[in-house]
Amino acid sequence: MPKIELPRAPEQNARSKPSPPRSRRAIHFLLLFIASILLADALIGERGFFEARRAQHHQATQKKEIARQRQENFRLRMEAKQLTNGEPRSIEAIARGELGLIRKDEVLFIIRNVKPTLQEPQ
């Protein structure tokens, strides 16, 4: 008598492809691991995205500082030029402003912030 094969149960029909061999899974895991390391290095590494942004910000602040220093150098050069030419007004302005000098016919007034003392009325 011939053997009759019954149809498979629904769980057996629903089975998907067999899982890949262990070596293939290990290769996939290794590739994923290497890709994640490369991505992390590209973002936070020594030459990564965040370091590049920080360097750009630092460069912009340095450019502003250089521009400010150039303006200051120009101002100081002009001041030195006035002093070496012996312009009396510039020399007098420095003497009055920094050294507190006065002319012979001028009177010096020193105003201090002193709290008034309370005197009782008599």
DSSP 11-47: HHHT--SPPPPHHHHHHHHHHHHHHHHHHHHHHHSTT
**pLDDT average, residue stretch 83-93:** 82
Asked if the model's pLDDT at residue 13 lies above 80, the reply is no
The residue to which tokens 């994640």 are assigned: 36
| Its pTM surpasses 0.75 | no
Query: What Rg, from alpha-carbon coordinates, does the chain have?
Result: 43
pLDDT mean across residues, the chain: 83
Residue 83 amino acid letter: L
Residue-level pLDDT at 38? 92
**Residue-range domain boundaries for the chain:** 31-99
CA 117 vs. chain centroid, Å, equals 53
